[in-house]
Amino acid sequence: MQRRTFLSHTCAASAGVATLTFSSRLLAASPDSPRFLLVFLRGGYDALSLLVPTSGSFYQEVRPHIAIPLAAGDQAGAVPLTEQWALHPAVEAPLRPLLQARQLSFIPFAGTDDTSRSHFETQDSIELGQPLGPQRNFQSGFLNRLASVLPGSPAMSFTDQLPTVFRGPVDIANTSLKGQLKNGLNKPLQSALASMYQHHPLGAKVQEGFEVRQEVSSTMAGNMAGEMEAASRNAVSTNGFEQEARRMARLMRERYALGFVDVGGWDTHVGQGQLTGYLATRLGQLASGLAGFADEIGPTMWKQTTVVVISEFGRTMRENGNRGTDHGHGSVYWALGGGLRGQKVLGEQTSIEARTLFQNRDLPVLNDYRATLAGLFQRQYGLSPSAIDKVFPACQPRDIGLI
Amino acid sequence: MLTACASQPPQASDKPALARARDHTPAGDPRLHVLVNRLSWGASDSELNLALQLGPARYIAQQTASAPPAALPPAVQGQIDSLTITQKPLMALLADLDSLKQADDKQPYQKELTRLAREAASRHLLRALYSPQQLREHMSWFWFNHFNVHQHKHNIRAMLGDYEERALRPHALGRFRDLLGAATRHPAMLRYLDNDQNAANRLNENHARELLELHTLGVDAGYTQRDVQELARVLTGHGVQHSDKTPHLRRELAGFYVREGAYEFNPARHDFGDKTVLGRRIQGRGATELDEVLDTLATHPATARFVCGKIARYLLSDTPPEPLVRRMSEAFLSSQGHIGDTLNVLLGAPEFTQAEPGKFKDPMHYVISALRAAYDDKVIRNTTPIFNWLNRLGEGLYNRQTPDGYPLTADAWSSSGQMAVRFEIARAIGTHSAGLFKSEEGSQATEQAAFPQLARASYYQFTRAMLGPDTRQALDNTSSPQDWNTLYLSAPEFMYR
């Protein structure tokens, strides 16, 4: 269906709200609008296996079986980033070009003031982005509020379901780009369906679903051939997340200014591994995917793109009885983008030793996620204080100098 | 009872069909349709007729009673009887798997695990579709989701059948305490939440935390990190044992050893010190410490509120009336956590039969209700397509990775992407038999039935009056019966229960 036809259709159906929220999505984002992708690692990834503290011996002492050793001579190991930190080699290798181009930064001691240590509670807290307390509105996620202050910035959640972070009055499209992409219904059925929903509250979503399906297949038309060709040439096999990330990049380059994706499987209570093993594999896949995203979105768009990787909490400083780690507090966030200033590790920091731990078990949180993201959005979009206050109510933005 | 033939789509003016439907059965009361749709996995003709015959009060009483299982249709029972998970107890399955695992080639081991999980899924789906004990099946899914485990951890795929059959389904309408005890001690749960790794001085608090947060009290009930750690100590030693071996134990510990199937309490791994959980002092004495804590948790007012609120959200509404949840909690507490008694309060409440269906179907409800409408009278032989549809919609059986289970509210399932996939599944069900009658070997020859007949007596008797004018018009304007089916299953009215 043509956009014009659709607009007149919904107007005729007097779906005023639907038209209002929907019209912002119909326009592709301008090639000049900045792009922002949030990657949520669900499960609380073990940040201390990603970013390894290198000053002092506390880390090695409390993680006798799972500490990531430093690279030494031709011995593989974590690669030093600064005097205090080194990076897991499974992440460093695929992201080396971005590191060298100063387009990758890490923010340790990042997180929330939610100390429930519950995955679900803390994920909700973060996605809502509202001050903790009984007054929270569970139908309002911070990316939806960001979309509401960025007109002309259509948003897409690359997930099967619409996550909490995108819930709210602005209508947000969603579709997962994992695996094989399917074709939709024929046009006559689509119009019959649209007519059934013309006065229904779900009407706008139904229309949007058809349109997004159309966009995805037209944007991916050339890409599919490319993916198959790569496979047949026996190129380095693309892991699932990299394929997905490249597809996201293509759609964001063409038409979506805001994106969200979540990646699960980080709740490593048992046998998380070290240089190799379960967690190293997951981290490596994530890093390859992010490198693929940067590559696929193209050098021009990458200059105005920021990707932020977060997780609900970090894990315990000390390993548990099963060569794993339990739910903790402070995490390490990642930022990637062509416009980054390129400091490898930034934000408020402290030394890592027994006396600085939060409740004698976890990394403390010194960089609040709301203040940090508010500082980033302020710079990336030039948002006014009132717009920032809408995205993150009652929060003082802190510009830690990412971009 | 088919009143429309495949070549001629029904029209509003299809008088003979309407007249026939009205002659042979009493006029459909929409409230009865709403009751059946909410209580069961979806209104099928036979379920509607049963409720009509019994009347609402007796229908509810029949469904909440913990009566002996009513018989499944023989064609369904036959499929279930032929499953390995029906024929072999868990210990035998694990023994077979452990010997497969010895081989250098790990593929047969993995394939067998996957096959066993698919068997459990198949049984679950067949019961949801065809069991006369609809409330039990409906609540069995709910309890699995409440005590969620994820199939792709370790060898949990082999344990799913036993977990459902022995820990969840028998207690689905019984006592919450029995259900809690069975789920907490089941090898699938102990393994999923890492309690098989939890030992004295090597604590793993995963199970303890979720037991408080998700299985009983709820996250805001006021327990502390200290309570989690103390409960983790109580849980030490409760684990999983595949083989017939028993551990070598010092003489003073041997009497504390407990073994039931693959569940094992190993006193050598237990912390025998005293604990304090929720302000209550637990004397260190072995496996029975856990029983004491579960007794407290199962009858705690916070548990009653949390569990009753969740049941009401599942069966009735995303925002159930607070007084109704309070009445349910009172029934839960005064009946010592009897689930059937608690459900009686909900199902008998006027809110439950109000004529406005307001609960958006999650994918499981959507797919099963569509198939119950389509194939009530014809037993599906292959559940693989159903399994795949649920996965595509993001609510595959045993596929929720995190212990919180799938969300139960509309906002999780009504996004634009979800709706688009839902329509494609409606088309698959409405336009051909979609592989549902192929034998598992995939032979085409056994495929029966071209497409279902949804425009039939029950449509005119019950459903049509509940459709809005836009839906009726779209249906009446459709010239192909397959499109009619697709539109009917895609209609906004079909998305709610």
SS3 assignment for chain A: CCHHHHHHHHHHCCCHHHHHHHHHHHCCCCCCCCEEEEEEECCCCCHHHHEEECCCCHHHHHCCCCCCCECECCECCEEECCCCEEECHHHHHHHHHHHHCCCEEEEEEEECCCCCCCHHHHHHHHHHCCCCCCCCCCCCCHHHHHHHHCCCCCEEECCCCCCHHHCCCCCCEECCCCCCCCCCCCHHHHHHHHHHCCCCCCHHHHHHHHHHHHHHHHHHHHHHHHHHHHHHCCCCCCCHHHHHHHHHHHHHHHCCCEEEEEECCCCCCCCCCCCCCHHHHHHHHHHHHHHHHHHHHCHHHHCCEEEEEEECCCECCCCCCCCCCCECCCEEEEEEECCCCCCCECCCCCCCCHHHCECCCECCCCEEHHHHHHHHHHHHHCCCHHHHHHHCCCCCCCCCCCC
Least confident of A7-21, A89-103, B254-268: A7-21
Sequence-ordered alpha helix ranges (H) in B55-106: 56-64, 74-81, 84-87, 90-101
Bridge partners of residue A258, in order along the sequence:
A36, A155
From A122, which residue of chain B is nearest by alpha-carbon distance? B219
The Cβ-side half-sphere exposure at A31, using a 13 Å CA radius, reads 6
Q: Name the amino acid, one letter, at A16.
A: G
The pLDDT score that the predictor gives to residue A238 is 54
Q: Which structure tokens are listed for B398?
A: 């045993």
3-state secondary structure of B170: helix
Each residue of A164-206: pLDDT tens digit? Answer: 999 998 989 998 888 777 767 888 999 999 999 999 999 989 9
Take residue B18 and report the two structure tokens written for it. Answer: 């309407």
Q: Which residue of A has its CA nearest to B420?
A: A209
For residue A54, pLDDT over 70 is answered with yes
All residues of chain B having their beta carbon less than 8 Å from the beta carbon of residue A157 are 415, 417
Angle at B51 between CA B50 and CA B56, to 5 degrees: 155
CB-hemisphere CA count at 13 Å for B100?
Answer: 16
Given this model, what pLDDT does residue A104 score?
A: 98
- CA-to-CA distance for B230 and B484, rounded, in angstroms? 59
Rounded to a whole number of angstroms, the distance from the CA of B317 to the nearest CA of chain A is 16
Residue A19's pLDDT is what?
A: 36
The full length of chain B comes to 497
ipTM: 0.87
Interface test with chain A among B416, B421, B429, B431, by most A beta carbons within 10 Å: B416
Q: How far is B474 from chain A (nearest CA, A)?
A: 6
Instruction: Return all residues near A364 (Cβ < 8 A) that are at least 6 apart.
Output: A109, A329, A330, A350, A356, A357, A358
Residue of B364, B415, B482 to mutate for A, most A C-beta atoms under 10 A: B415
Which 162-201 residues of chain B touch chain A by CB within 8 A? 194, 197-199, 201
Computed on alpha carbons and rounded to an integer, the radius of gyration of chain A in Å comes to: 22
Nearest-by-Cβ selection for A322 from B204, B470, B474:
B204
The mean pLDDT of A72-82, rounded to a whole number, is: 95
User: Which two structure tokens, joined as six digits, stand for A181?
Assistant: 């992409």
CA distances from B324 to B217, B313, B327 (A): 19, 11, 5
* Percent of chain A at pLDDT exceeding 70: 88
8 Å CB contact between A105 and A115? no
Within 10 angstroms of residue B485's Cβ, the number of other Cβ atoms is 27
Other CB atoms within a 10 A radius of the CB of residue A215 amount to 20
Which string of b and e fits B218-248 if b means at least 16 CB within 10 Å? bbebebeeebbebbbbbbbbbbbbbeeeeee
Chain A: give the shortest CA distance to residue B484, in Å: 10
Place of tokens 């006559």: A188
Decide: residue B472, CB within 10 A, 0-12 exposed, 13-18 middle, 19+ buried.
middle
Closest by CA position to B174, among listed B28, B67, B289: B67
Query: Is A185 in contact with B470 (Cβ distance < 8 A)?
Result: no
Indicate yes or no: CB of A198 within 8 angstroms of CB of B470. yes
Helices marked H in B236-287 — which ranges?
251-254
Q: Residue B2's pLDDT is what? A: 34
pLDDT value at position A302? 98
**How do A305-311 and A51-53 pair as beta strands?**
unpaired
- Closest to B125 in 3D by CA, of B360, B313, B367: B367
Task: Round to whole Å and give the CA distance between A88 and A90.
Answer: 6
Looking at residue A47, its pLDDT comes to 98
Q: Quick check: helix, strand or coil at residue B96? A: helix
Please tell me the number of Cα atoms within 13 Å of A63 on its side-chain side.
28
Q: Name the band, by pLDDT with cuts 50, 70 and 90, for residue A224.
A: low
Q: How far is CA B69 from CA B66, B132, B134, B380, B390, in A?
A: 8, 9, 11, 21, 27
CA-based nearest residue in chain A for residue B390: A160
**Cα distance between residue B347 and residue B342, in whole Å:** 9
CA distance B375 to A334: 51
CA-angle at B297, arms to B294 and B301, nearest 5°: 155
How distant is the alpha carbon of residue A101 from its chain centre? 21
Those residues with Cβ within 8 angstroms of residue A261's Cβ, 6 or more apart along the chain or in another chain: A37, A38, A39, A40, A157, A158, A159, A244, A245, A248
Cα(A16)–Cα(A374) distance, rounded to whole angstroms?
32
Residue closest to A89 by CA, chosen among A80, A100, A78, A81: A78
| Contact (CB<8Å) A320/B411 | no
Sign of CA dihedral B246, B247, B250, B254: negative
Contact B418 A182 (CB under 8 A): no
For residue A33, give both structure tokens: 């609008």
Query: In this structure, what token pair is assigned to residue A77?
Result: 């190991």
Across the interface, whether the CB atoms of B470 and A161 are under 8 A apart is answered no
* CB-closest option in A139, A162, A213 to B420: A213
Q: Give me the amino acid identity at A172.
A: I
Tell me how close the Cα of A378 comes to any Cα of chain B, in angstroms: 29
| pLDDT tens for the 497 residues of chain B, in order | 333 333 344 444 443 443 333 334 445 678 888 999 999 999 999 999 999 999 999 999 999 997 766 799 999 999 999 999 999 999 999 999 999 999 888 889 999 999 999 999 999 999 999 999 999 999 999 999 999 999 988 999 999 999 999 999 999 999 999 999 999 999 999 999 999 999 999 999 999 999 999 999 998 899 999 999 999 999 999 999 998 888 999 999 999 999 999 999 999 999 999 999 999 999 999 999 999 999 999 999 999 999 999 999 999 999 999 999 999 999 999 999 999 999 999 999 998 887 688 899 999 999 999 999 999 989 999 999 999 999 989 899 999 988 999 999 998 899 998 999 999 999 999 999 989 998 755 555 455 568 999 998 889 888 898 899 999 999 999 989 999 999 999 999 999 99
Amino acid identity, residue B438?
K
Is the pTM value of this prediction over 0.90? no
pLDDT at res. A115: 92
pLDDT score recorded for residue A23: 38
Backbone angles phi, psi at A174, to 5 degrees: -145, 140
Question: How many other CB atoms sit within 10 Å of the CB of residue A381?
Answer: 19
Provide the pLDDT for residue A160.
Answer: 84
pLDDT of amino acid A223: 60
- Judged by CB atoms closer than 8 Å, whether chains meet at A327 and B225 is answered as no
